[in-house]
Amino acid sequence: MTMDRIDKIIDKYLDEEGVLIQLLLEIQRDFNWIPKEAIKRINERLKIPVSQIYRVASFYTGLSLKPIGRHLVRVCAGTACYVRGGPRVLDSVERILEVKSGETTDDLKFTLETVNCLGCCALGPVIEIDGQYHGKLTPASVEKLLSGYD
Protein backbone atom coordinates (compact mmCIF):
# COMPACT_ATOMS: atom_id res chain seq x y z
CA MET A 1 0.00 0.00 0.00
CA THR A 2 2.70 2.50 0.97
CA MET A 3 4.76 1.76 -2.16
CA ASP A 4 1.64 2.17 -4.32
CA ARG A 5 1.05 5.63 -2.82
CA ILE A 6 4.69 6.58 -3.40
CA ASP A 7 4.63 5.32 -6.99
CA LYS A 8 1.42 7.22 -7.71
CA ILE A 9 3.11 10.47 -6.60
CA ILE A 10 6.32 9.73 -8.51
CA ASP A 11 4.31 8.96 -11.68
CA LYS A 12 3.25 12.62 -11.81
CA TYR A 13 6.88 13.71 -12.15
CA LEU A 14 8.27 11.22 -14.67
CA ASP A 15 10.23 12.78 -17.53
CA GLU A 16 10.38 16.19 -15.84
CA GLU A 17 13.52 18.05 -14.77
CA GLY A 18 14.02 19.87 -11.47
CA VAL A 19 11.10 18.25 -9.68
CA LEU A 20 12.75 16.98 -6.52
CA ILE A 21 11.58 19.68 -4.13
CA GLN A 22 8.00 19.56 -5.42
CA LEU A 23 8.02 15.75 -5.31
CA LEU A 24 9.30 15.70 -1.73
CA LEU A 25 6.71 18.30 -0.69
CA GLU A 26 3.93 16.16 -2.14
CA ILE A 27 5.22 13.05 -0.36
CA GLN A 28 5.45 15.10 2.84
CA ARG A 29 1.81 16.22 2.43
CA ASP A 30 0.64 12.67 1.80
CA PHE A 31 2.60 10.88 4.54
CA ASN A 32 3.27 13.81 6.91
CA TRP A 33 6.96 12.94 6.60
CA ILE A 34 9.36 11.44 4.03
CA PRO A 35 9.80 7.71 4.62
CA LYS A 36 13.07 5.98 3.68
CA GLU A 37 11.09 3.82 1.26
CA ALA A 38 10.15 6.98 -0.65
CA ILE A 39 13.77 8.09 -0.92
CA LYS A 40 14.82 4.68 -2.19
CA ARG A 41 11.96 4.62 -4.69
CA ILE A 42 12.74 8.14 -5.99
CA ASN A 43 16.34 7.03 -6.48
CA GLU A 44 15.29 3.87 -8.34
CA ARG A 45 12.66 5.43 -10.58
CA LEU A 46 14.03 8.92 -11.26
CA LYS A 47 17.75 8.09 -10.96
CA ILE A 48 18.31 10.94 -8.51
CA PRO A 49 21.24 10.13 -6.19
CA VAL A 50 20.21 9.27 -2.63
CA SER A 51 22.73 11.79 -1.32
CA GLN A 52 21.03 14.56 -3.29
CA ILE A 53 17.59 13.54 -2.02
CA TYR A 54 18.80 13.55 1.60
CA ARG A 55 20.60 16.86 1.10
CA VAL A 56 17.43 18.55 -0.13
CA ALA A 57 15.13 16.84 2.40
CA SER A 58 17.36 17.78 5.33
CA PHE A 59 17.94 21.37 4.18
CA TYR A 60 14.33 22.56 4.10
CA THR A 61 12.57 22.89 7.46
CA GLY A 62 9.23 22.16 5.81
CA LEU A 63 10.40 18.62 5.11
CA SER A 64 10.87 15.95 7.74
CA LEU A 65 12.82 12.70 7.59
CA LYS A 66 11.13 11.41 10.73
CA PRO A 67 7.43 10.99 11.50
CA ILE A 68 5.74 14.12 12.71
CA GLY A 69 2.43 14.58 14.41
CA ARG A 70 -0.82 15.58 12.76
CA HIS A 71 -0.59 18.85 14.68
CA LEU A 72 2.58 20.92 14.77
CA VAL A 73 2.88 22.94 17.99
CA ARG A 74 5.47 25.70 17.87
CA VAL A 75 6.19 27.57 21.10
CA CYS A 76 7.88 30.96 20.80
CA ALA A 77 11.10 31.27 22.78
CA GLY A 78 11.84 34.84 21.68
CA THR A 79 12.73 37.57 24.15
CA ALA A 80 9.25 39.15 24.39
CA CYS A 81 7.57 35.79 24.95
CA TYR A 82 10.32 34.69 27.32
CA VAL A 83 9.89 37.67 29.67
CA ARG A 84 6.10 37.27 29.59
CA GLY A 85 6.19 33.67 30.81
CA GLY A 86 7.08 31.65 27.73
CA PRO A 87 9.22 29.13 29.65
CA ARG A 88 6.27 28.29 31.94
CA VAL A 89 4.00 27.88 28.91
CA LEU A 90 6.56 25.57 27.28
CA ASP A 91 6.83 23.55 30.51
CA SER A 92 3.04 23.15 30.51
CA VAL A 93 2.95 22.01 26.89
CA GLU A 94 5.74 19.49 27.54
CA ARG A 95 3.94 18.19 30.64
CA ILE A 96 0.56 17.89 28.88
CA LEU A 97 1.92 16.27 25.73
CA GLU A 98 4.54 14.22 27.62
CA VAL A 99 7.27 15.15 25.12
CA LYS A 100 10.16 17.59 25.00
CA SER A 101 10.76 20.13 22.26
CA GLY A 102 11.80 18.37 19.05
CA GLU A 103 9.79 15.25 19.87
CA THR A 104 6.53 13.74 18.64
CA THR A 105 3.90 12.07 20.80
CA ASP A 106 3.73 8.29 20.56
CA ASP A 107 0.28 8.47 18.94
CA LEU A 108 1.65 10.85 16.25
CA LYS A 109 -0.93 13.44 17.27
CA PHE A 110 1.46 16.28 18.17
CA THR A 111 4.99 17.38 17.32
CA LEU A 112 6.45 20.04 19.60
CA GLU A 113 9.03 22.60 18.52
CA THR A 114 10.41 25.80 19.96
CA VAL A 115 11.20 28.68 17.62
CA ASN A 116 13.21 31.86 18.09
CA CYS A 117 10.36 34.19 17.17
CA LEU A 118 6.87 33.94 15.71
CA GLY A 119 6.73 37.65 14.93
CA CYS A 120 3.79 38.65 17.12
CA CYS A 121 5.64 39.86 20.19
CA ALA A 122 2.79 41.98 21.56
CA LEU A 123 0.74 38.79 22.02
CA GLY A 124 3.41 36.93 24.00
CA PRO A 125 3.67 34.27 25.13
CA VAL A 126 2.57 32.77 21.82
CA ILE A 127 2.01 29.26 20.48
CA GLU A 128 1.37 28.43 16.84
CA ILE A 129 -0.61 25.28 16.16
CA ASP A 130 -1.05 24.22 12.54
CA GLY A 131 -0.48 27.80 11.39
CA GLN A 132 -2.93 29.38 13.85
CA TYR A 133 -1.51 31.77 16.44
CA HIS A 134 -2.65 31.75 20.06
CA GLY A 135 -1.39 34.55 22.27
CA LYS A 136 -1.36 35.88 25.81
CA LEU A 137 -1.23 32.32 27.07
CA THR A 138 -0.81 31.09 30.59
CA PRO A 139 0.08 27.61 31.77
CA ALA A 140 -3.60 27.16 32.71
CA SER A 141 -4.91 28.20 29.28
CA VAL A 142 -2.57 25.82 27.46
CA GLU A 143 -4.39 22.69 28.61
CA LYS A 144 -7.73 24.00 27.37
CA LEU A 145 -6.16 25.03 24.06
CA LEU A 146 -4.53 21.64 23.41
CA SER A 147 -7.65 19.68 24.41
CA GLY A 148 -9.43 21.22 21.41
CA TYR A 149 -7.33 19.26 18.93
CA ASP A 150 -8.23 15.70 17.93
Read off the pLDDT of residues 54-79 as tens digits, 9 standing for 90 and up.
999 999 878 899 998 999 999 999 99
Q: Is the residue at 75 inside a domain?
A: yes
Query: Quick one: 143 and 87 in the same domain?
Result: yes
Query: Quick one: 77 and 126 in the same domain?
Result: yes
- Is pLDDT of 3 > 80? yes
Structure confidence by residue, pLDDT tens digits, 77-122: 999 999 999 999 999 999 999 999 999 999 999 999 999 999 999 9
Mind spelling out the 3-state secondary structure of the chain?
Answer: CHHHHHHHHHHCCCCCCCCHHHHHHHHHHHHCCCCHHHHHHHHHHHCCCHHHHHHHHHHCCCCCCCCCCCEEEEEECCHHHHHCCHHHHHHHHHHHHCCCCCCECCCCCEEEEEECCCCCHHHCCCEEECCEEECCCCHHHHHHHHHCCC
Residue 120 is predicted with a pLDDT of: 92
Query: Quick one: 141 and 94 in the same domain?
Result: yes
Residue 1 is predicted with a pLDDT of: 60
Domain ranges, residue 55? 2-59
Q: Is the residue at 64 inside a domain?
A: no
Residue 131's CATH number: 3.40.30.10
Query: Quick one: 78 and 127 in the same domain?
Result: yes
Query: Quick one: 11 and 42 in the same domain?
Result: yes
Number of structural domains (the chain) is 2
Residue 111's nearest CA partner among 66, 148, 72, 138 is 72
Structure confidence by residue, pLDDT tens digits, 124-147: 999 999 989 999 999 999 999 999
Band (150; pLDDT cuts 50, 70, 90): confident
